[in-house]
Chains A and B, each alone.
Chain A
């Protein structure tokens, strides 16, 4: 149970953005099967930077370098960026009310589509697991679902109303076409397609007595997609569990536990590692924390897990930590982004990873 500073070290600080960095995204499959590891970061400076790992052994070259700057498309802050599952496209969501789709052609990024429709700030964008659907959300309280058509055309197939405030984040389930949204209205909503009408509907709202009591900033699924973690301005993490059929309506998700007492300021980001099962958080107190799932062996109730903090990195950034993301395969790698304009690549000690 060491909460030791030495158990997490910076591999490299990536500098270049001239304003706060809101979010980072690892390119799927990066660092495997001959593909160099790649990370995108987006910022208040209206640009995306793409960073690539240099595998050459030249000791004078930095490990990570900026290989592309995507600019000129967005007139305001870029709040969120996400790669398509095949790593071919990068979608960016901006406060200017648009979403841009960039295609990676042999290392050059070309904007191939601009999606308009939201009334004002777009806050988040997410691809479904097959890469055929895109979801977006924003300050106009709505969630939009777009379908990728031949020729890089995106058609809006549904506009979902239900949240009473600003929608902060949308996230697709890792293996089903189930969409989750998190809002300033303190609730999380689960959206599914009604197979009879082909309409998208809200299957469940997670906002009962177990729900968050302030803005929900981020949600993240575990590898199986049967658990969801959410983080909030109410200084707690909540773990939600679903063992039922995700596609049917009804109360699929139930509150499993609330992790409180660890954070002193707003938790802006949470990410569940697909590789190690560890949960990382980034918060307004400049810290990164890591939590692990523990099963009580003496439990007679079949063993619902508890979540314990196993590492707290103080002053991870000099200001708020806006985003933390584990590498999809390399369990020891974590990327973070801060208001200080810096992106950091961290290596977590192997003891932490079990």
Chain B
């Protein structure tokens, strides 16, 4: 992305889902992690180019998150706002970093773009699931700054 040319100049902004205050349980570690909990971790991530959350842009939804707590597996399928969105890998990277920080280390995380939602679907998926490239990307100061920016608590 260069200058002010936005990848998606006019995104559709959706209502945010009502927050569910979850009942506190005495032994929270015994409570299995579910899709809503994972959604809560990623819904407020900021879009790399708009002052909206991934939830508001319908990039992530609770329905597109699959969790198998017993098998320690999480799959997040996200939908880039446009077919040629060059920000798709950055968004996926943000989701992965956020989940790596929030979920117990036993979890295996797979991140994918929704089938048919991106012109370079296979390439984007491959990159987002190559942990060596993820590690290298996060050591890149510009990219990691961008990621931190998107993950910072926002006031929108």
Judge: A and B partners, yes or no: yes
The answer to whether A284 touches B139, judged by C-beta atoms less than 8 angstroms apart, is no
Q: How far is the CA of A347 from the CA of B20 in the complex (A)?
A: 51
Contact string against B for A residues 253-267, beta-carbon threshold 8 Å, 1 for contact and 0 otherwise: 000000000000110
Chain B residues within an 8 Å CB radius of A120: 136
The answer to whether B126 touches A318, judged by C-beta atoms less than 8 angstroms apart, is no
**Which of B76-84, B127-135, B146-154 is found at the contact surface with chain A?**
B127-135
Chain B residues within an 8 Å CB radius of A166: 133
Given known pairs A215-B126, A319-B105, the reply for A77 and B131 (CB within 8 Å) is: no
Q: How far is the CA of A41 from the CA of B59 in the complex (A)?
A: 40
Chain A residues within an 8 Å CB radius of B50: none
A184 touches which one: B106, B130, B131, B135 (CB < 8 A)?
B130
Given known pairs A265-B108, A319-B105, the reply for A77 and B139 (CB within 8 Å) is: yes
The answer to whether A168 touches B132, judged by C-beta atoms less than 8 angstroms apart, is yes
Given known pairs A284-B108, A318-B105, A319-B105, the reply for A76 and B133 (CB within 8 Å) is: no
A263-287 CB contacts (< 8 Å) to partner B: 265-266, 284-285
Number of interface residues of A (CB under 8 A): 25
Q: How far is the CA of A20 from the CA of B138 in the complex (A)?
A: 14
The answer to whether A318 touches B106, judged by C-beta atoms less than 8 angstroms apart, is yes
The answer to whether A77 touches B136, judged by C-beta atoms less than 8 angstroms apart, is yes
Closest to A186 in B: B126
Contact string against B for A residues 90-124, beta-carbon threshold 8 Å, 1 for contact and 0 otherwise: 00000100000000000000000000000011010
Q: How far is the CA of A338 from the CA of B126 in the complex (A)?
A: 22
Contact string against B for A residues 138-173, beta-carbon threshold 8 Å, 1 for contact and 0 otherwise: 010000000000000000000000000010100000
Contact string against B for A residues 210-239, beta-carbon threshold 8 Å, 1 for contact and 0 otherwise: 000011000000000000000001000000
User: Is A44 in contact with chain B by the CB < 8 A criterion?
Assistant: yes
The answer to whether A139 touches B136, judged by C-beta atoms less than 8 angstroms apart, is yes
B116-130 CB contacts (< 8 Å) to partner A: 126, 129-130
Chain B residues within an 8 Å CB radius of A82: none
Tell me, rounded to whole Å, the shortest Cβ–Cβ distance linking A199 to chain B.
30
Given known pairs A95-B139, A215-B126, A284-B108, the reply for A320 and B132 (CB within 8 Å) is: no
Q: How far is the CA of A168 from the CA of B132 in the complex (A)?
A: 9
A-B pairs with beta carbons under 8 Å apart, 27 shown: A20-B135, A44-B135, A76-B139, A95-B135, A95-B136, A120-B136, A139-B133, A139-B136, A166-B133, A184-B126, A184-B130, A214-B126, A215-B126, A215-B130, A233-B126, A233-B129, A233-B130, A265-B108, A266-B129, A284-B131, A285-B108, A318-B105, A318-B106, A319-B106, A320-B131, A339-B105, A340-B105
4 tightest CB-CB pairs across the interface, nearest first? A76-B139, A121-B136, A95-B136, A95-B139
